[in-house]
Amino acid sequence: MIDYVFLFNAAELMIELNARGLKIGIATNVRKHEFQAAQIYSNKRSMVYRMTDDQMGKLMAFGSGLAESWY
């Protein structure tokens, strides 16, 4: 099931994480506002990256239909 898709700008995220003094690894803490800014599906929150209606429709075919805001 695909209910959410997040697309991060890796360079910008690394700068922010390093500025907070975090070690980068498997369990690196990404804050809520960073996830919200990177969400491109099921809610179009990203102001930088946009999906077409066709792309959204294709992802919906793999969704559970139960996607809700988790934050």
Report if residue 71 sits inside a domain: no
Encode the chain (71 residues) as per-residue pLDDT tens digits.
888 899 999 999 999 999 999 888 888 888 998 988 899 988 878 878 888 889 888 888 888 876 654 44
What phi and psi values does residue 54 have, to the nearest 5 degrees?
-65, -45
pLDDT computed for residue 11 by the predictor: 94
Q: Which domain holds residue 42?
A: 5-60
The answer as to whether 21 is a domain residue is yes
Number of domains observed in the structure of the chain: 1
In the chain the beta strands, taken as DSSP E runs, fall at 5-6, 39-41
Confidence (pLDDT) at 71: 44
